[in-house]
Structure 1
Amino acid sequence: MSFYTSLSGLKAAQTDLSVISNNVANVSSNGFKKSRADFGDLVSNSSLQAASVAGQGARLKSITQQFTQGSGMAASERALDLAISGQGFFVTSSDQTGGGVAFTRNGAFGVDNDRYVTDSRGNYLQVMPVDTSGGVTATGLAAAKSLQVPLTSGDAKPTSRLDIKLNLPAAADLPANRAVYQAPATYAFDRYDPNSYNYSAQTTVYDADGNGQPATIYYTRTAAPTASSTDSTWEARMFVGNAEASSTKNADGTGTSPAVPLSLTFDDKGVIKSPVGDVSFGAALPSGAAAPISLTLNYGTASTQAAGTFKVASLTQDGVEAGTLSNVSVGNDGLVSASYSNGTTQKLGKVMIANFSNPSGLRQMGDATWGASGDSGPPVVGEASSNGNGQIQSGALELSNVDITDELVALIAAQRNFQANAKAIETANTLTQTIIQTN
């Protein structure tokens, strides 16, 4: 019987060596959780058995994973390298629709060809949907969606308003009085002829797809103060691309044809008298625009006619072009935000965190990834930094929780156990041979 007792000890020591060796081998694996082999003694019993009997060896009870925090966080310069400080697992899916759910502590995520965020196994990182302010709109595993980072921003905004503040020189002449327009020539505005207007100001406006179009306003002085009137008048003609916008509109919102310029009036002190407030121009459709562009122009009360040069103090518009991805950030609460070159920010979702009543019961799948089982219980999902879930750190990776010193000591102990059981078998063999030779 001693042969079998020692043999069970040998197998137990061998299993212990295998578990320890696996821990040592994965000391550099991100998010790896060490295991521990638990053993029990074998004792045969019956109703007629004596109170004190010799045991029959050792048996493996379980190999239990230790879900303690990793030994540290390795800093990274990648925003999609994520680590959980505290309890919980990242939720991943084997397909984009949320099937084949798995759980991992390895936060080395990347982006595939379709701009989906995936782990080292190619599984898709799952997030909870959010609104424009970052608030979660749906919870639970059924609401999870695969995180995708758009390369371009689809949030282009067409320009609808121009605000301008300028100074028109009080000493400006009238183009109609210039020598080039003396009789028999007739004065006529031509934007390609700088002699037919006084000044111009330009900015860029955007259509519905975020495509830019140059918007140029040409200023022509039409009347200077006289004995009968101290007012000065100007005409402002606005061109969007190659199309002139009219200051008067048809019933359908399009500009009248021919286009009517906007009239500006200043009093003898240079204060603007009209227009006061917003002026809505008819929609103009320049070449290359995705849709007609309707603009509202406002000069405010700070635009003047005074001594000095022509000066545009400010000319702003409210449109936004389509932007390209410039940065991705992940907050401590798991909120993923993408910033684009046009200055817009898009909330993409909140990283989903799963917890289990018995993490040790999870089914190992490799690469620091686990699957739910009957022993682990169902996953309880939620946001990071809430309801006992850990905090997410962006730009960091969780190291394994293997302490190499402890494992080396345990390795020596397992080796000694193996040698001791081997020696016991050798001793039992010697005793048996002695008995046989004696007989």
Structure 2
Amino acid sequence: MSFYTSLSGLKGAQTDLSVIANNVANVGTVGFKRSRTEFGDLVSSSPMQSGNVAGQGTRLKSITQQFGQGGFSASDRALDLAISGQGFFATRSDGAGGRLSYTRNGAFGLDDQRNVIDARGNFLQVLPVDSYGVVTATGISASRNLQVPLTSGQSQATSNIDITVNLPSDAQLPADRAVYNTGNPYEFDRFDPNSYNFSSATSVYDAAGNELPATVYYTRTTAPAAADPNDPNSVPTTDSTWQARMFVGSTEVTGTTPIEMTFDGNGNLTAPTGGTTLPNIQPSGASGPLSLTVDFGTATRQAAGAFSLGNFAQDGFAAGQFDNISVGSDGLVTATYSNGDSQALGKIMMVNFANPAGLRQLGDASWSATGNSGEPLVGEASSAGFGVLQSGALEQANVDITEELVALISAQRNFQANAKAIETANTLTQTIVNMRS
């Protein structure tokens, strides 16, 4: 009998060693919770038996999870989350119809569809919120996958362009310069700097929000002239004229007729007096035709000094591109975009249980609900019964190496003692066998 009693102790010590070894092996696993073995003694007696009886060994009652708080390690990722206090993250496998599991491992990331997932590819669950971040529905049935939209808002094609420039009053006519340099008459060519005076560049947008390069070329065509002394009817001129040509990409959107700009002797713009509507042309790379109106305003002048661009404003824009994501201590997930928009995407659903020790282990520091754990209790971070979320941190395993090493020594001694007891029982049996009458 003592042989089997010691054998049960030997098996118990072996199980204890395995549990301790698993704790030590997972000391670096994020969100891991240590386990503890619990044993009970075996006693067999009949109802009519009186007095104490010798026990028959030990049995493993349970291996229980210890859900104590683990330490935090800092991270520079907004989707690295840690729970300070009670509660679990909820994740779902295979979309809306998948199985729910619960974890303290807050190392989340994005998949190719911009869903927030854990290391196993399960989707982080959130509660829906309104534009102010207030939860609009609660409970497991209200949970949904957290997905980060790539864009925000609608794009708008450029329709109006406002330009303010200062054109030098002493600028040379490219027509004279071309004849002087090449002997050929003036002809505009955007690839020939001698055929225009100045240029300015910016961007415009088509209806799909595609950004397209736009360049305006300024060419002086006439300058003030004195009266011809050989012509009695000749009178001096004080006006100057310039031509403005706009290209979007490689397409001239001003068409065959450039914008004619006229300045008086004081350098004031006298024509055009308002916006100039250009022909509808679809530049290369644009999703559709552009309908542009160019207005040089009243601040454009011809004056002494260098060419300068005072203003180049246009009313088109692309939809906002995803820029950043943040998670508040209450679990509110907010995405910000390049156009200044911000969207409340949901509140991270927190789950707790009446008996967390009754959860079933799934591996990878995750669990599923059982009858022993009770039904999941759904709530929000920083509310009653739930901990606070910390973004940019991860909860480490709650394994104390010193404590585990002491337990390891104790389990080893128990194993050795039971092995010695088996050896002693075997020696006694052998002695009895060898007895001779």
Give the TM-score of the pair, scaled to structure 1.
0.70
Deviations 1:18-58 (A, max 9, x none): 32222122222222110112234456689877697776654
Residue among 240, 256, 264 paired with 2:248:
240
Question: Tell me, what secondary structure is at the counterpart of 1:374?
Answer: coil
* Pair 363,302 (structure 1): closer, same or farther in 2 beyond 3 Å: farther
CA-atom RMSD in angstroms: 5.1
Q: Distance in 2 between matches of 1:408 and 1:15?
A: 15
Please name the residue that 2:308 is paired with: 311
Aligned residue pairs total 420
Residue among 390, 393, 400 paired with 1:392:
390
Point out where structure 1 has 5 or more consecutive residues left out of the alignment.
Answer: 247-257
Please name the residue that 2:202 is paired with: 203
Q: Distance in 2 between matches of 1:131 and 1:162?
A: 37
On the 8 A contact 2:10/2:415 being kept in 1, the answer is yes
Please name the residue that 2:350 is paired with: 354
Q: Distance in 2 between matches of 1:139 and 1:231?
A: 74
Alpha-carbon offset, residue 422 of structure 1: 5.3
Question: Tell me, what secondary structure is at the counterpart of 1:352?
Answer: strand
Question: Tell me, what secondary structure is at the counterpart of 2:200?
Answer: strand
Supply the AA of the counterpart residue of 2:65.
Answer: Q
Q: Distance in 2 between matches of 1:134 and 1:299?
A: 45
Question: Tell me, what secondary structure is at the counterpart of 2:120?
Answer: coil
Alpha-carbon offset, residue 204 of structure 1: 2.5
Alpha-carbon offset, residue 289 of structure 1: 1.5
Please name the residue that 1:376 is paired with: 373
Of all paired residues, the percent bearing the same amino acid is 59
Q: Which deviates more, 55-64 or 122-131? A: 122-131
Q: Distance in 1 between matches of 2:315 and 2:288?
A: 17
Q: Distance in 2 between matches of 1:434 and 1:175?
A: 123
On the 8 A contact 2:71/2:398 being kept in 1, the answer is yes
* Pair 359,280 (structure 1): closer, same or farther in 2 beyond 3 Å: farther
Supply the AA of the counterpart residue of 1:65.
Answer: Q
Question: Tell me, what secondary structure is at the counterpart of 1:23?
Answer: helix
Q: Which deviates more, 369-378 or 207-216? A: 207-216
Question: Tell me, what secondary structure is at the counterpart of 2:105?
Answer: coil
Alpha-carbon offset, residue 370 of structure 1: 1.2
1:31-430 aligned at under 5 Å gives the runs 31-42=31-42, 58-73=58-73, 75=74, 81-97=80-96, 99-109=98-108, 117-127=116-126, 140-141=139-140, 142-145=142-145, 147=147, 158-172=157-171, 198-219=197-218, 236-245=244-253, 262=259, 270=267, 281=278, 283-299=280-296, 302-317=299-314, 319=316, 329-333=325-329, 349=345, 352-357=348-353, 358-381=355-378, 384=381, 388-394=386-392, 396-421=393-418
Alpha-carbon offset, residue 163 of structure 1: 3.8
Q: Distance in 1 between matches of 2:129 and 2:274?
A: 38
Q: Distance in 1 between matches of 2:301 and 2:130?
A: 44
Supply the AA of the counterpart residue of 1:215.
Answer: A
Supply the AA of the counterpart residue of 1:356.
Answer: N
Q: Distance in 2 between matches of 1:295 and 1:383?
A: 51
Alpha-carbon offset, residue 138 of structure 1: 6.5
Alpha-carbon offset, residue 402 of structure 1: 0.8
Q: Which deviates more, 128-137 or 31-40? A: 128-137
Alpha-carbon offset, residue 311 of structure 1: 1.2
On the 8 A contact 2:148/2:335 being kept in 1, the answer is no
On the 8 A contact 1:207/1:213 being kept in 2, the answer is yes
Supply the AA of the counterpart residue of 1:405.
Answer: T
Point out where structure 2 has 5 or more consecutive residues left out of the alignment.
Answer: 226-234
Q: Which deviates more, 82-91 or 106-115? A: 106-115
